Amino acid sequence: MGRASGRLLFAAILVSAAGIPIAARGQDSPPIDESATAAKEDEQAPRSASTAPQANPTSGSLPSAAPPLVPSEKPAGLDFDLFGPENAASAAANSADKIASTGVLVQKRRHRLETHQLLGLTTWAFMAASCIVGQLNYNDLYGGGSGRGNYMMPHRLLVYSTTGLFTATGIYALLAPQPYKRPLKFDTGLLHRVAAIGATAGIVAEVVLGFITARTADAGNPSGIANMAKVHDVIGWTTFGFMSVAGTAWLF
């Protein structure tokens, strides 16, 4: 019993000795400031109030959250285009007008060239008749014929008609518009132009030489009239050859 009581007393003394420092530390720590605790509570209260959804007094439902703002990639005041839709629409309109005008020119060119072709073939036929009747007139006057001049007036009428038709044919060709540029190359079109130029020169020479020959004959100067008539005859057939080449190149 004496040993048990001694052990219990020794344990009690140890527990008391261990509790003394704990109590001393509790007494040495400063007391908690009640005002600081209240300030912290006041700071947390507005945050919780701002984050908490507010009830709508009219409908009683919570409002939807606002969509986030997306920053613009372009600076304010510079959002414009110098070549915008207006210029694009203007360019499209100009292109449409150009296509429409080109179509009109193509139609006009086709009509005038068709008329040119018809007049050209008619001129070729009249030129052939003029050459044939002119050859008969030359044979009659300077080739050992009767010399009566029976073919003179028919030849003149055919020459006048051929000259008028040839002029009209050339005018229709010159007035045909060119809706687009064509490169210059050797083809049937170029051959037709060269032959037409040769025929034009021949027609002009025939008209001038014919008038000179007629006036020389009327003046009663027979010297050289036969030679002039011979040159007139040769130029006539040469002009007919140019017309034949021009018509063949145009048709084929």
pLDDT in tens, 166-191: 999 999 999 888 877 777 788 888 99
pLDDT band at residue 24 under the 50/70/90 scheme = very low
Question: In 3D, which of 226, 228, 162 has the Cα closest to residue 199?
Answer: 162
Cβ proximity of 155 and 109 under 8 Å: no
Which pLDDT value is given to residue 106? Answer: 83
Confidence check: pLDDT of 38 > 50: no
Confidence check: pLDDT of 93 > 80: no
pLDDT band at residue 68 under the 50/70/90 scheme = low
**Structure-token pair, residue 212:** 């000179």
In angstroms, what CA-CA distances link 167 with 70, 130, 228?
A: 78, 16, 25
The secondary structure of residue 180, as a DSSP letter, is S
Question: Using CB atoms within 10 A of its CB, is residue 195 exposed (0-12), middle (13-18) or buried (19+)?
Answer: buried
Rounded CA gap, 133 and 182, in Å?
41
Question: In 3D, which of 176, 196, 179, 168 has the Cα closest to residue 112?
Answer: 176
Using only C-alpha atoms, the chain has a radius of gyration, in whole angstroms, of: 59
Which pLDDT value is given to residue 241? Answer: 96
pLDDT band at residue 126 under the 50/70/90 scheme = very high
Cβ proximity of 134 and 155 under 8 Å: yes
- pTM value is 0.58
139-166 pLDDT, tens digit each? 998 887 787 888 989 999 999 999 999 9
Which pLDDT value is given to residue 86? Answer: 54
Confidence check: pLDDT of 124 > 70: yes
Which pLDDT value is given to residue 46? Answer: 44
3-state secondary structure of 182: coil
Least confident of 6-20, 114-128, 193-207: 6-20
Question: Using CB atoms within 10 A of its CB, is residue 84 exposed (0-12), middle (13-18) or buried (19+)?
Answer: exposed
Q: What percent of the chain has pLDDT over 70?
A: 58
One-letter amino acid at 11 equals A
Alpha helix positions (H), 33-143: 34-51, 85-142
190-225 pLDDT, tens digit each? 999 999 999 999 999 988 887 887 777 666 666 678
- Summary mean pLDDT of the chain: 73
The secondary structure of residue 142, as a DSSP letter, is H
